[in-house]
Amino acid sequence: MNIKSLIKPFFVAGTLTIVICACDRAPKGDDAVITEEKQATDAVGQNYIVDSAESKIRFTGYGVGKNHPGNFKVTMGTVAVKENRITGGEFTIDVRSLAVEEKGDMFQEKLKPHLLSGDFFDAEKFGTAKFEITSVEPYNPNSKDTSIVEGANFNISGNLTIKDVTRNVTFPAKVDLDDMTLKGKADFDIDRTQWNMNYGNDKTLGNKFISEKVNIELNLKANRIGTETTAAK
């Protein structure tokens, strides 16, 4: 028996172990701070309209030995900017647009309908979700608090409404702004049970356990229009 014959089984076994471990790990984003609903800010200044074709929300849920990524479309929204600073805004997420990235009947014909069912998003009853900005503050990283998003420059807080439940979520984001375009990027983790999505969140289920943690990758683009918004009197 030559050395290659001896090494090959160990190599295959080692590779398989790495793949299993990698799939078993939760996707790591910034730890979002989740609190009760807060008052939205006055969205004053120059309006930027969300580009629904260029904006997307990607999510990844995970269980034992598996990750399941998917995405939603952002259908509409506005962001207000005054003196090069975001003052407010909101956008709507089309829950029914949920797309599962994995191919095959198990994912497209079983997992996707399950996610859209009452066990998770209950899309038939709650067809949209919403994010409304409540504050935007400068983000200052330090040795104990460094965002996974390279170049993050703001902490954004907003009311996230899913299934008629509203929680305030705070996360770091990178915002690039010029006279015509606004781009925002964030990568953070939330606890889905805060929005009454509790299915499978019981560790006694063994390999059927589904973590309460969900990773969110937000990519938002908005284009300037000619009108401005003033504060309500």
Domain CATH number, residue 179: 2.40.128.110
Residue 74 lies in a domain: yes
Q: In 10 A of CB 138, how many CB atoms?
A: 8
Domain count, the chain: 1
- The alpha-helical segments, DSSP class H, found in the chain are 3-24, 105, 112-116
Domain annotation covers residue 42: yes
Encode pLDDT of 27-53 as tens digits.
689 999 999 999 999 999 999 999 999
The domain in which residue 164 lies consists of 26-229
**10 within a domain of the structure (yes/no):** no
Inside any domain, residue 14: no
In a domain, 98, yes or no: yes
The sign of the dihedral angle between the CA atoms of 182, 183, 189, 191 is positive
pLDDT of 44-90, one tens digit each? 999 999 999 999 999 999 876 678 999 999 999 999 999 999 999 99
pTM recorded for the entire structure:
0.84
The reply to whether 9 falls in a domain is no
**Listed residue (124, 127, 136) closest to 87, CA to CA:** 136
Instruction: Flag whether 15 is in a domain.
Output: no
